[in-house]
Structure 1
Amino acid sequence: MKHEYCVQTDILETVVASAPVELRHAALLAALATRTEFRSPAYVTSRDSYGAHPARVFDAAGALVADNYRDWIRSEIDARNGDVAAVWEHYKDEGYLLSEIQPVLHFFVHDRGGAQDNFTQFRIFTETEAISRNLFTSAAWRQPERPNDLLVYHNYLGEPIDPRPLGSARYRLYDAIDMPSFLRLADACTAEERRVAAARRFKFTDLQTGESGSESYGEMYPAFDKYPHKSRRFFDDWCESSAGASGERICRRWVFEPQDSEGHQSDQTQPRHLYFIPQWGHNRKVAAVEKTRNMDDYALFGRLNKFDERIGVPFSWYFYGLHGDLVKSGSIERILAAAENGLIVLPEHDYRVLKRWQDQPYGF
């Protein structure tokens, strides 16, 4: 599904697909710069945590049977009136083979400068395809029973074989997210969510007097919408802290995975929920700030400053604390308390960011 915050051009998809895959993506970056409006694209980071997914079907001799495994298996199930076991019985001894595509996701950015959110983020897959397994296992105890056994989970596919590569690696554009558009839409979605939440009423009964009444969520928690949604706050905190004051661009240090409920909600009467999950952009291994429970606050602050030095951005530890994997959110609480007790000294703008977080914590 193409969303309104995505750049939607067929030319962009074609340019990405036509570039030869290289280790440092030089040809891809050059193609984007010369053939699209994005004149200064830059590589940020990659994620290789995606599993392989089924691609094409071949017979035992290696001849192509179907270009799309899922379409083919769905038609085979339909032809047998949904009898999945009959499909398995028909093909289990035929020696059919399956190719799989192994994706690696790369993040690129075109930074237009100015406001920290003034950029377009590209998510582009490198895909390599190889004939990598038998289509079905012949083991009777693994006979599939439901369509999803073959359509979704693939638990009933055959055993892996020595991979036989099919062609060279290729690029595929996943999306191009215009961050100002994304945040404006997230603002609007959040405003509607909060309007609906504030109006929701709750009935109550006083167990001592027996009196009943009702109160809206907005009346019960009048400050629940005091701050912007967490995606906007992440940018605001960067801009107002030492991280932004240092001149570092957020889009070169973090990448963003949109989470959009549109098209996925079972109850379509509910407001759309839109936000992102930030992921760090460093490409080297960075040790987590661990075993802090027995440290005093001054030692913890020293560890966090060392962490910032490794990252290369002041006050980075706070943003990693919002993420929670390399720096625990408890460190935010301890550093704020230490600053208020006079044990450490923080820049005033960083202190204000921490105080806002304490007033209404958020994270990802």
Structure 2
Amino acid sequence: METINELEMVVALCEAHSVEAGIEPLVAQLNDHLPHRTFKYISCRGEWYRLGGVVDRGYRPVAAGLRQWLEQEISDDNLELFLERYLDAGYFVTKWRGQSYYLNAVVGERAEEFLQLEIEQLQQVLDRPLLDPDWLPDTVEELIDPLDFPHLEPEPLGEGCFRFRRLTPIRGLLSADERFNTGEIPPLQRLFSDWDRCSGRDVGHFSDFWVVVLHDGGEAQGSFSAARPQPARALSKESLNRCQTLKGSELANALHQIDYQLGHPFSWYFALQLSHIEPSSLIEQVLEDHAGEYAYIPERDLVILRDWMEEPYSC
């Protein structure tokens, strides 16, 4: 995105688009208005929930954000006065039920050279009463995120909507990583570098098959605390777990099946780096197979495996 006006246009297009129409027409509209970038719909992740606001007993809006409203209403940390004022008000706390759509636009040949546009599909729903006489909080944080509090059926409030979440130049994530200043290569950079020399690159750009999930750092719009690639297509945990017990032709078939599921060669390696499985035993078995009579991995991918064994990493 090159100008603030273009970003404002994206925000406006998202807000004006009907949820019933689906995401594909919105992608087409975005590309019509941004001819110098071609965004592709890659994947959808959800469903998730996020803290919402406050409504009255007639479900009319009182505040868009619960935390900000409480900061205004509870002066000098006088929680007791707040409880007296609102205990019988009949207010409800809401939450946002959402899905995240990932759209990517390639801007260069290297794995990290793409823009990632996140668009959320949101529906505000009832969550819980603001206050319950049988459960009164001792702190503001307990009021925001109470434990064992009676929740309501998530009744929809109003219509669903699309909303712009953030636009991220993925290359910028790397340059912003403070570890570059110490000479250390961050794991995400190593993952991208491995892509640039692997066989998967022959069938498309990294962003055709993967998204970078940014784990939110708070309620601030666009803030995040961590970045973690995820495959655009779903892969069951059992697929990689099963590979740990195999070798030879059975292992070759299992790895090729993962590649087929995720859409590109050598995808099993990237999925392994992002899993909760310790990678060394599986990589050692692949290298052991190729030291013998098997040859189911291209040589350039074997180089990556040997390099990993010399200097392991995970994302």
- Pairwise TM-score range, normalised by the shorter structure: 0.7 to 0.9
Letter in 2 for 1:133: R
Q: Match of 2:96, SS? A: strand
Q: Match of 1:48, SS? A: strand
Measured against aligned partners, the alpha-carbon deviations of 1:172-193 in whole angstroms (never above 9, x if no partner) come to 222111233333444xx33313
Measured against aligned partners, the alpha-carbon deviations of 1:182-228 in whole angstroms (never above 9, x if no partner) come to 33444xx333133xxxxxxxxxxxxxxxxxxxxxxxxxxxxxx5xx4
Q: Distance in 2 between matches of 1:49 and 1:330?
A: 34
Contact 2:234-2:262 within 8 A present in 1 as well:
no
Letter in 2 for 1:171: F
Contact 2:93-2:129 within 8 A present in 1 as well:
yes
Q: Distance in 1 between matches of 2:66 and 2:7?
A: 28
Alignment correspondent of 1:218: none
Measured against aligned partners, the alpha-carbon deviations of 1:277-311 in whole angstroms (never above 9, x if no partner) come to 11111157685233445433442232112221222
What displacement does 1:325 show? 4.9
More deviation, 285-294/298-307: 285-294
Alignment correspondent of 1:191: 180
Contact 2:54-2:91 within 8 A present in 1 as well:
no
- Aligned mate of 2:142, from 136, 140, 149: 149
Q: Match of 1:126, SS? A: strand
Q: Distance in 1 between matches of 2:36 and 2:87?
A: 50
| Residues 41 and 191 (structure 1), Cα distance of their counterparts in 2 relative to 1, 3 Å cut | closer
Contact 1:288-1:326 within 8 A present in 2 as well:
no
Q: Does 1:42 align with 2:40?
A: yes
Alignment correspondent of 1:127: 122
Q: Distance in 2 between matches of 1:64 and 1:260?
A: 25
Q: Distance in 2 between matches of 1:7 and 1:307?
A: 42
* The structure with more radius of gyration: 1
Q: Distance in 2 between matches of 1:134 and 1:168?
A: 21
What displacement does 1:43 show? 1.0
- Aligned mate of 1:351, from 277, 302, 310: 302
Letter in 1 for 2:230: Q
Q: Does 1:169 align with 2:160?
A: yes
Contact 1:126-1:170 within 8 A present in 2 as well:
yes
Letter in 2 for 1:301: A
Q: Does 1:252 align with 2:208?
A: yes
Contact 1:56-1:100 within 8 A present in 2 as well:
no
Q: Distance in 2 between matches of 1:83 and 1:17?
A: 38
Letter in 2 for 1:315: F
Structure showing the higher helix proportion among its residues? 2
What displacement does 1:63 show? 3.9
Contact 2:45-2:101 within 8 A present in 1 as well:
yes
Give the superposed CA RMSD.
3.1
1:157-236 aligned within 5 A: 159-161=151-153, 163=155, 165-186=156-177, 189-194=178-183, 225=184, 228-236=185-193
Letter in 2 for 1:36: L
Alignment correspondent of 2:222: none
Letter in 1 for 2:169: D
Letter in 2 for 1:55: G
Letter in 2 for 1:237: D
More deviation, 306-315/285-294: 285-294
Q: Distance in 1 between matches of 2:49 and 2:121?
A: 13
Contact 1:136-1:157 within 8 A present in 2 as well:
no
| Residues 118 and 71 (structure 1), Cα distance of their counterparts in 2 relative to 1, 3 Å cut | closer
Contact 1:143-1:156 within 8 A present in 2 as well:
no
Unaligned runs of 5+ residues in structure 2 are 218-224
What displacement does 1:316 show? 1.0
Alignment correspondent of 1:330: 281
| Residues 94 and 30 (structure 1), Cα distance of their counterparts in 2 relative to 1, 3 Å cut | same
Letter in 1 for 2:90: G
| Residues 47 and 24 (structure 1), Cα distance of their counterparts in 2 relative to 1, 3 Å cut | same
